[in-house]
Amino acid sequence: MKHTTTALLFACAPCVVSSFTNTGIIHVSSTTRRQPLSMPPLKDSLAPLLLHLQEMHDHKDASVKLDAPTTKEESSYMPYDLLPPSDNWVANSTRRLSRIDLQKAITKVKRFVESRLETDLNLFEHTAPIAFKSGTGVNDELDGSESKSPVRFKVPNQFVPRGITPKPLSELSPEEQEEAKRYAMDCEVMQSLAKWKRIMLDRLKVDVGEGIYCSSTSIRKGYKGDVTHSVIADQWDYEIRIKEEDRNVETLKSYVNKIWKIITDAEAWILQEYPSIILDHPTATFRLPKDITFITAEELHAKYPSLDVHGREDAAVQEYGAIFIIGMGWPMNDGSDPEEVRSPAYDDWKLNGDIIVMHPLTGYRHELSSMGIRVDSDSIVAQLKHRGMGDQVDLPYNRAVINNSLPFSYGGGIGISRLLMLLLRTAHIGEVQCGVWHDEHYRMVSGCGIDLIPDRIIDLKSKEDVSDDKAMHP
Active site residues: 140, 220, 235, 354, 367, 370
325 vs 75, 293, 410, CA distance in Å? 34, 9, 16
Between CA 281 and CA 90 the distance in angstroms is 10
Do the beta carbons of residue 1 and residue 310 sit within 8 Å? yes
161 vs 14, 167, 176, 185, CA distance in Å? 64, 12, 17, 20
Q: At what angle do helices 249-273 and 416-423 cross, to 10 degrees?
A: 50
Between CA 38 and CA 183 the distance in angstroms is 67
Between CA 442 and CA 465 the distance in angstroms is 17
Enumerate residues 6+ apart whose C-beta is below 8 A from 59.
none
Enumerate residues 6+ apart whose C-beta is below 8 A from 392.
137, 345, 384, 398
Do the beta carbons of residue 409 and residue 393 sit within 8 Å? no
